[in-house]
Amino acid sequence: MLYSRLKPVFGGALFLLALGVYWATLEPTASFWDCGEFTASAYKLLVPHPPGAPLYLLLGRLASLLAAGEPTRVPVLVNLVSAVASAATVTLLFGIITDLAAKLLRPAQAAELMPGTATALVLGSGVVGALALTFSDSFWFNAVEAEVYALSTLGTALVVWLMLQWEKRADEADSDRWLVLIAYVIGLGIGVHLLNLLAIPVLSVVWYFRRTAQPTRRGTILALLGGSGLVLLVLEGIIPGLPTLAGASEVFFVNTFGLPYNSGLLLFLLAGLGALLLALRWAYQQGRRGLHTALLALVFVLIGYSSYLIVPIRSSFSPTINENAPNEILSFVSYLKREQYGDRPLLYGPHLFAQAVAQEDGAPRYTRQNGRYIITDHRPELRYEAPDKVLLPRIYAGPAGTSPELVRQYRKWVTDLEEGRKPTMTQNLSFLWQYQFGHMFWRYFGWNFIGRESDVQHAGVLWPWATTQAVPASVAENRGRNALLALPFLLGVAGLVWQLRRNGRQALVVGLLFLLTGLAIVFYLNQPPQEPRERDYTFAGATLAFCIWIGLGVPALHAALGRLLSASRPRVLLASALGLLVPTLMATEGWDDHDRTGRFSSVDYAKNVLNTLAPNAILVTEGDNDTFPLWYAQEVEGVRPDVRVLVSSYLNTDWYVEQMRQRSYQSAPLPLSISPAHYRQGTNDYLPFVENPAVRELNVREFVQLVEQNSPLLQVSYGDGSRTLLSYPATHLVLPVDTAAVRRSGMVPPERLAQIVSRLEWDVSRGALEKRELALLDVLATNNWQRPVYFANTVSPATRMGLEPYLQLEGLACRVLPCRAPAALRPELRLPEEGEVAKDLLYDSLMRKYSYRNLNNPKVYYDENQRFTLSGYREQFARLARAYVEAGNHPRARKVLQKCLTVLPDTALPYDAYTPDLVPSLVAVGESHRAREIMDTLTTRTTQHLAHYAARPDAALFEREIGMQLFTLQHLYLAAADTNDAARATALAGILRQYGG
């Protein structure tokens, strides 16, 4: 009775404790990566990237209603969904561990009848394991931001906990209701993330052990295979399979019988519902209990899965964020299948250097037209001969194809990889073991339970003996450096060994949960060696599983202490106290790098970008971090709704181009001349360069008109000659300018009026123009300078298409203007700088408009990604100060420099690669002492960093970090040369030569 009274008390206390921790460290706004998109989509029930997370968005929407009309509270409330879900997961893990420990300690008796010492030991194990999960690196990271992984992990924990409840009651007459409830939870989990499906094989093994008097190895394997088959049934048969059949029914009945749109879908739903009802009735009448339970489980999986109906429903209303536009059954199927991301070979497929022998038509793409579904394109599928295919293709090209950079990245892990030669099975397995298993899973496992070197990408595991090794001060002081001394790992291993000795079947169940939510995910994802960020958050399920063993480490300690202490009660207290040291250490080491309080940098950066722009502007962005925070700022806080954010990578799709033709809040439709038919998928996806000697330059306006006309002048044949596509005949592009109209518009600053040109001239590559580049050329030609067009400073040169000479720097974005400043290179290593500085506009942005909340607060933690993004501020301050110095306006330059060093101090945001650019201006305005301090501080740090990373055996992994340090040294050298500091310049040149910079 004591146990049954105390268990809910401890569980509730753990929930409140975990929730308090996550509330205290919660990010107060939308973070980088997908968080801005999810927050905006939850707030207005929009349609985010495939395959969506409708249940998560519905919960986020409910939470956002508590904002009571104050939009700045919305991200806190949506983040809180993750915090509450994580706290609930902690509580469920406590229940799982205590149930398992109670069976191991009192296998033949009810847990409620345990004596006091056993009760204390079981509760202690649950508390230690639950707290270890609370403070584990990856789980804590997910708990304080608006992402799906916290809620997904809750689904996994709930499924496991429910299965244990069924196991206790399996002999009761109504025990099958627990299985039906599990099916419902799995169905709900599909609306968050697919990770909880991986618990199904574990559940099948638990079911087999409970239902079989004498389990065998063969039966266990068959149960595991059966559970894996159920995963495939849900993953392929239910999630995309049923909508695919519904789509086929829709096309058949509409095209064959001329029925109205959605008739085939309705008939399919009615037929499916009828078949299920008949099957349920037959199973009930025949007394087929197992079949009846299975059918009920299927029904409840579908009920849970029905949260996905919100996707086509909301998409049909054409919301402002409507990725893939899945507003009818066929596009919805494409959305569910994530077709825009391409396929990755899993068990058998082409290798890295495979050459396709043909491109064939795959699944058709349909468009509604005149009451029918018309095939407008086929999904292209490359065909490879058998010699170019291998088993377990871990070294492969992927949807983007083979590139020299991809080959170079593979060679970091497989050094004997030969160009053009099929990778051997040994090489594929080596990459699987070293990179996919080792670097992309076991390294993350080590972060959680052994220690973490730093927050730098590719940072390794901090082993106990490495904590005493000399490292640069900035590495030692990095808040992402967590010295766990491998104590969580050792306690978990102790728990695993103890469980194996007491009950091997139970250990097998936990081990399967660990492997399936860890290494199985790695195997399925088949990740190439190019990832823009760390992916440890994916393996929260494996983290949860290992924390079960950490919890069971407490009774393992209790058993080990039996040789020292014979009295049971002191042993229980000592074992629990020693066990609690582990989560205590995890909390103290992890708090500083998981505490996101006071961090507003991502949203402030987004607002600053938007506030840079002139009214009714078009802003071209490229990636997640220069797009999703902008979406948040516009959708949630209503910042600059007149700006149209144009994501260049999405312009390769017809659905996105079509959405840009629609009005969005105060933003007018995108100016486009080419009609939707010529942007349709499969049409003008790319235009190859086919040289025409008679065409020396290509007028962009005329080119756009020729594309719209599908002109024979641009057509070229390919394949067997029966097909044609459009091309471009010259790489030198020109765009005529009405200079009189430009002058009258006032868009050009007075000091640049003399730089207005009668036409823009620039060069593009000799390869091919993608649809996105065609769309950007269409915008430039059609817009005719009516609306301001900007490129975010973070976009790549490929996205800018060679327009750098016509860019004007106005802040965190550059405006395209028909002005060309004289090219000016800085001394020696200085590269051409992008955008002519518009001093007054840039001053207004940096000194008046921009918000820098807490960027000067050393208590706020900014991780590597934040530091890298925020370095853009110092770059703009440096350029503005230099522009004022060159103009002879030293007072203005001094104000700019003071502002920069005040809002971006080294104590909060360490000096970066652009800080040396402040040095010449500081010297020019009489701040030589401050300039020398910056140079000496950065020189010392950079030299130490280079020595540290270059000496590592895995130095190749840190080439970005090493490159940034060399980049910093180059800027330091230029600063010394610009200020005639010969001694420092000579020393820096020597360091650069030493490291080949």
Per-residue pLDDT reduced to its tens digit, 169-208:
988 888 899 999 999 999 999 999 988 899 999 999 999 9
Return d(Cα 472, Cα 488) in angstroms, integer: 27
User: How many CA atoms within 13 Å lie on the side-chain side of 734?
Assistant: 12
**For the residues 769-778, what does the mean pLDDT come to?**
95
| pLDDT at position 125 over 70 | yes
Identify residue 155 by its one-letter amino acid code. Answer: G
Burial 620-649 (b: 16+ CB within 10 A, else e): bbbbbbbbbbbbbbbbbbebbebbbbbbbe
Per-residue pLDDT of 373-426, as tens digits, reads 998 888 888 888 888 889 999 999 876 677 888 999 999 999 889 888 899 999
User: Tokens 């001969």 belong to which residue?
Assistant: 385
The residue-averaged pLDDT of 230-252 equals 91
215: left (phi over 0), alpha (psi -120 to 50) or beta: beta
The CA-CA-CA angle for residues 180, 182, 188, to 5°, reads 105
Q: Residue 910 pLDDT > 90, yes or no? A: yes
Residue 830 — pLDDT band, cuts 50, 70, 90?
A: very low
Mean pLDDT of the region 226-233: 92
Whole-number Cα distances in Å, 261 to 206, 236, 336: 46, 26, 21
- Name the pTM for this structure: 0.94
Cβ contacts of 767 within 8 Å, gap of 6 or more = 688, 689
At residue 720, the pLDDT reads: 65
Res. 825: pLDDT tops 50: no
What Cα–Cα distance (Å) separates residue 932 from each residue in 424, 918, 923, 975?
55, 11, 9, 10
Q: Which residues of 709-732 are buried (b: 16+ CB within 10 A; e: fewer)?
A: eeeeebeeeeeeeeeebbbbbbbe
CA angle 267, 272, 276 (to 5 degrees): 150
Q: Which residues face 248 on adjacent strands?
A: none
Query: What is the reported pLDDT for 499?
Result: 96
Please, where are the H alpha helices in 380-503?
A: 404-411, 425-431, 443-449, 473-476, 487-502
Which structure tokens are listed for 434? 């070293």
795 vs 777: CA distance, rounded Å: 16
Residue 323 near residue 50 (C-beta atoms within 8 A): yes
Is residue 264 within 8 A of residue 253, CB to CB? The reply is yes
193 close to 149: Cβ distance less than 8 angstroms: yes
Whole-number pLDDT of residue 236: 87
Q: Which two tokens stand for residue 179?
A: 């299985």
Predicted confidence at residue 645, as pLDDT, reads: 97
Q: Is the separation of the CB atoms in 654 and 825 below 8 Å?
A: no
Mean pLDDT of the region 631-652: 96
Q: Which residue, 519, 524, 560, 523, is CA-closest to 542?
A: 519
The pLDDT confidence band at residue 826, using thresholds 50, 70 and 90, is very low
Nearest to 18 by CA among 70, 77, 92: 92
- Mean pLDDT, residues 464-477 taken together: 90
* pLDDT band, very low/low/confident/very high, at 470 (cuts 50, 70, 90): confident
Q: Is the pLDDT assigned to residue 348 strictly greater than 60?
A: yes
User: What is the rounded average pLDDT of the residues 291-308?
Assistant: 94
**In DSSP terms, which residues pair with 978 in a beta bridge?**
none
Query: Where on the phi/psi map is residue 190: left (φ > 0), alpha (ψ -120 to 50), or beta?
Result: alpha
Cα dihedral across residues 305, 311, 312, 313: positive or negative? positive
Across residues 567-589, what is the average pLDDT?
A: 93
pLDDT at 829: 41
Count Cβ atoms within 10 A of the Cβ of residue 504 and give its class: 0-12 exposed, 13-18 middle, 19 or more buried. exposed
Amino acid identity for residue 348 in this structure: Y
Kindly state the average pLDDT of the residues 930-949.
94
Q: Is the peptide bond before 326 cis (omega within 30 degrees of 0)?
A: no
Please state the rounded mean pLDDT for residues 438-459.
95
Place of tokens 């009309």: 69
Confidence band, pLDDT 50/70/90 cuts, at residue 570: confident
Task: Quote the mean pLDDT of the chain.
Answer: 92
> Given pLDDT bands bounded at 50, 70 and 90, which one contains residue 109?
low
Backbone angles phi, psi at 118, to 5 degrees: -65, -40
116-134 and 74-105 helices, crossing angle to 10°: 150
Percent of the chain clearing pLDDT 70 (strictly above): 97
pLDDT for 420: 83
Residue 995 predicted with pLDDT over 90: no
Nearest CA-CA partner of 298 in 223, 241, 247:
241
For the residues 317-344, what does the mean pLDDT come to? 89
**What is the predicted pLDDT for the residue at 723?**
76
Percent of the chain at pLDDT exceeding 90:
77
- Say if residues 715 and 727 touch (Cβ distance below 8 Å): yes
- What local confidence, expressed as pLDDT, does residue 710 receive? 92
Q: What is the mean pLDDT of residues 531-536?
A: 88
pLDDT digits (tens, 9 = 90+) for 693-734: 889 999 999 999 999 999 999 988 876 666 789 999 999 999
Q: What is the CA angle 857-904-877, rounded to 5?
A: 160
> Across 670-821, where does the E strand assignment appear?
686-688, 698-699, 715-718, 723-726, 732-736, 759-763, 768-770, 789-792, 807-809, 813-816
DSSP code per residue over 183-244: HHHHHHHHTT-GGGGGGHHHHHHHHHHHH-SS--HHHHHHHHHHHHHHHHIIIIIIIIIHHH
What is the DSSP secondary structure assignment for residue 439, as one 8-state letter? I
Residue 111 has a pLDDT of: 55
Residue 112 pLDDT class (50, 70, 90 cuts): low
Q: Could you tell me if 517 and 548 are in contact, meaning their C-beta atoms sit under 8 angstroms apart? A: no
Q: State the pLDDT at residue 567.
A: 79
Residue among 527, 534, 529 at smallest CA distance from 414? 529
